[in-house]
Amino acid sequence: MPQPPFIQLTGISKIFNKNIVLEDLNLSVGYGEILGIIGKSGSGKTTLLNIIIGFLKPDKGSVIFQSRNIHKDEINVDTQFGFASQEFSFYDKLTVDENLRYFGSLYKIKDKTLDQRIPELLKFVDLEDKRNLLASNLSTGMKKRLDIACSLIHDPKILILDEPTSDLDTFLRRDIIALLKKINKEKEVTIVLTSHLLDELDICNRIAILNNKQIVATGSSDELKEKCSNNMEIILEIASGNYGYLQKMYKSDDRVSKSLVKDGKFILYTSKSETILRELLSEINSHGDKLLDVDVNKPSLNEVFEYFVNASNEKAIVTKKEDKIKKKNDKDTGDNKEES
């Protein structure tokens, strides 16, 4: 029997001042997984997270957590959810220990428990030697770790992270990603994170793509890449360096979505990679050219994201046009009826 989702969002809509941010959005989060939500800036990722933790109330739809609506069960949500926003959410003028103790007390954790938990947590996030340092004196990476520690002080079941690595350099980003993996694995905490940096989503068990107010695709990294296999990438390099005849060949071929020459290589995107590759090799041979290198790649996450976003946008445009035509037809029908 399949396990019910840990969190289930159904038909979520959120409107800010007549501006629809989310519309009829559906999403589920499984127990113990790391779910990454990607979307362009302003696509509503933070709004979605705020709805998940119950900070914002959706105008339509429901968020079910462990079979209970979170907006009717706020205390349960407060104690089981940990949240770290894009900005550090702690007091700069308190020490690391004081911050953790203060937030711990707000979760009604007793002093004795905190005495035990704080050192453990600091060790876990590698801040044990910074315990008595003012938060303002920590480095950016340390601040991020303190922020995550503050989110974990009450031992939550779910950790929600809004762009956890957005302002960090590559090394710090790698540290934080490693820490998140550790939290998920060792503490068995379900993690939901948003990002616009696709590289860091490699740690996610599942990825949800948010575009046009909805989740347009969900699945593991491989599943998503598979879904957009029409974007297989063929990269080849020939001795002559003259790719004109190849470009001409696929200029108006429906099987090829895009072709270009970049860095002395010919790059082509197609869903029929095997057939096209055969054709390419044959054409090169017939021109007496020499093939130096050839590579066939699955699309990168960037390309997957781009693919789903474009598909979603096209769909939206078509829907919009259809709606317009339908409206016009309805109007014409109405006018004809009136005339008759």
Parallel/antiparallel/unpaired status of strands 190-195 and 34-39: parallel
Name the DSSP class of 317: H
Q: Which of residues 162-201 bind other proteins (CB under 8 A)?
A: none
Nearest approach, Cβ of residue 35 and other proteins (Å): 19
How many residues touch other proteins under the rule CB under 8 A: the total is 31
Q: Which of residues 41-80 bind other proteins (CB under 8 A)?
A: 53-57, 74-75, 78-79
- The answer to whether 85 and 143 are in contact (CB under 8 A) is no
Nearest approach, Cβ of residue 158 and other proteins (Å): 12
Nearest approach, Cβ of residue 326 and other proteins (Å): 34
118 or 209: whose CB is closer to other proteins? 118
Six-digit token pair at 87? 């900005």
Q: Does 107 bind other proteins (CB under 8 A)?
A: yes
Q: Which of 20, 102, 155, 261 binds other proteins (CB under 8 A)?
A: 102
Q: Does 150 bind other proteins (CB under 8 A)?
A: yes
Q: Which of residues 110-149 bind other proteins (CB under 8 A)?
A: 111, 134
Nearest approach, Cβ of residue 154 and other proteins (Å): 8
Nearest approach, Cβ of residue 280 and other proteins (Å): 55
Q: In this structure, what are the phi and psi dihedrals at residue 70, rounded to the nearest 5 degrees?
A: -65, -25
27 or 150: whose CB is closer to other proteins? 150
| 285 Cβ neighbours under 8 A, 6+ residues apart | none
Binding span for other proteins by CB under 8 A among 96-104, 293-301, 307-315, 320-328: 96-104
Name the DSSP class of 76: H
The CA-based dihedral angle spanning residues 95, 100, 102, 107, taken in that order and rounded to the nearest 10 degrees: 170
Q: In this structure, what are the phi and psi dihedrals at residue 273, rounded to the nearest 5 degrees?
A: -65, -40
Binding span for other proteins by CB under 8 A among 100-108, 228-236, 277-285, 305-313: 100-108
90 or 307: whose CB is closer to other proteins? 90
Nearest approach, Cβ of residue 56 and other proteins (Å): 6
Binding span for other proteins by CB under 8 A among 106-114, 194-202, 234-242, 328-336: 106-114
Where would I find the H helices in the chain? 45-52, 74-80, 96-106, 111-124, 140-152, 170-186, 221-227, 244-249, 273-286, 301-339
94 or 256: whose CB is closer to other proteins? 94
Nearest approach, Cβ of residue 192 and other proteins (Å): 14
Q: Coil, helix or strand for 239? A: coil
Angle between helices 111-124 and 140-152 (to 10 degrees): 140
Binding span for other proteins by CB under 8 A among 62-70, 102-110, 191-199, 300-308: 102-110
- The answer to whether 174 and 164 are in contact (CB under 8 A) is no
Kindly list the strands in the beta sheet with 19-29, ordered across the sheet, starting from the edge strand earlier in the chain: 19-29, 7-16, 60-65, 68-69
60 or 298: whose CB is closer to other proteins? 60
- Burial code (b: 16+ CB inside 10 Å, e: under 16) for 79-106 equals ebbbbbbbebebeeebbbbbbbbebbee
100 or 309: whose CB is closer to other proteins? 100
1 or 75: whose CB is closer to other proteins? 75
Q: What does the alpha-carbon distance between residue 134 and residue 112 come to, in Å, rounded to a whole number?
A: 23
Q: Does 31 bind other proteins (CB under 8 A)?
A: no
Q: Which residues of the chain form contacts with other proteins (CB under 8 A)?
A: 53-57, 74-75, 78-79, 81, 83, 85, 87-91, 93-94, 98, 101-103, 105-108, 111, 134, 150-151
